[in-house]
Amino acid sequence: MQANLSSAARDLASVQVAYANRGITLSELALCGAKEFLEWQHYPNNDLVDADSGYEFYYHSHSSDEMPKGEHGHFHLFKRSTKNPEKFHHLIGVALDLKGLPVRIFTTNQWVTGESLLDASTVLRLLKNFNVSTRGRMSPLSKWINAFTKLFYVEMEKLIVERDQVIAKLVEKMGSRSVALESKKYHVLTQRKIDLMQGLSKHLFASH
């Protein structure tokens, strides 16, 4: 387990440092070469999808008045059904600050992405195996995200379990699961700040 975390820390750090040395932030890398960053636009345009595994992600931002202060945008990570591509499940959101560093993870209500919402245990099983394999210019970004899901899995686990608890309370309050999951009053269900440097230092130099 520790060896896997150390490997993930090295992978994540290597991508972040390599692009920082070239004056490119992770958020700039996430724009996939786009000349401008448009609100709500997905980057890349058709999302980054691993057709073999069904895992995918994209980067985007909301309108400026909806974005938390100091954040540039965020990744949404998904698992799409390989048998029924129209069916997909949101796993976690990862927000970056203006320097392109991850600062927050969060879960969303079902209506936000239009997903088929799964229970926490199933989401966690899918998240544990998250791996987007791609070639070309987006390969380093995929490597970074794959590593991130390993390095901060424990933090994500807590959020996703807590998400189900929040949903249960909403269902009790509103009297209907479908109404709760589609209520526009509830967008982000759980969230927490993360410290990248703390996560890296904890595992980067750990012994195997």
Question: Tell me: the pLDDT tens digits for 124-168?
Answer: 999 999 999 888 888 899 999 999 999 999 999 999 999 999 999
Assign 207 a pLDDT band (cuts: 50, 70, 90): very low
Contact present, 40 and 113 (Cβ < 8 Å): no
Residue whose entry in the numeric block shows the structure tokens 């995200």:
145
List the single range of 47-61, 84-98, 148-162, 164-178 with lowest mean pLDDT. 47-61
* 84, pLDDT greater than 90: no
Structure tokens at 156: 């994500």
Whole-number pLDDT of residue 155? 96
* 208, pLDDT greater than 80: no
Whole-number pLDDT of residue 92? 98
Burial 25-34 (b: 16+ CB within 10 A, else e): bbbbbbbbee
Assign 179 a pLDDT band (cuts: 50, 70, 90): very high
How many Å apart are CA 152 and CA 4, to the nearest integer? Answer: 12
* 66, pLDDT greater than 60: yes
* 108, pLDDT greater than 60: yes
Preceding amide of 85 cis, omega within 30? no
- For residues 26-49, give the mean pLDDT: 79
Q: Which residues contact 84 (CB under 8 A, 6 or more apart)?
A: none
- For residues 54-65, give the mean pLDDT: 85
How many Å apart are CA 153 and CA 149, to the nearest integer? Answer: 5
Residue type, 61: S
- For residues 181-203, give the mean pLDDT: 92
How many Å apart are CA 7 and CA 4, to the nearest integer? Answer: 5
- For residues 60-76, give the mean pLDDT: 82
Q: Which residues contact 63 (CB under 8 A, 6 or more apart)?
A: 39, 40
Q: What Cα–Cα distance (Å) separates residue 129 from each residue in 79, 83, 188?
A: 10, 18, 24
How many Å apart are CA 25 and CA 102, to the nearest integer? Answer: 11
Structure tokens at 149: 């899901």
Greatest CA separation for the chain:
54
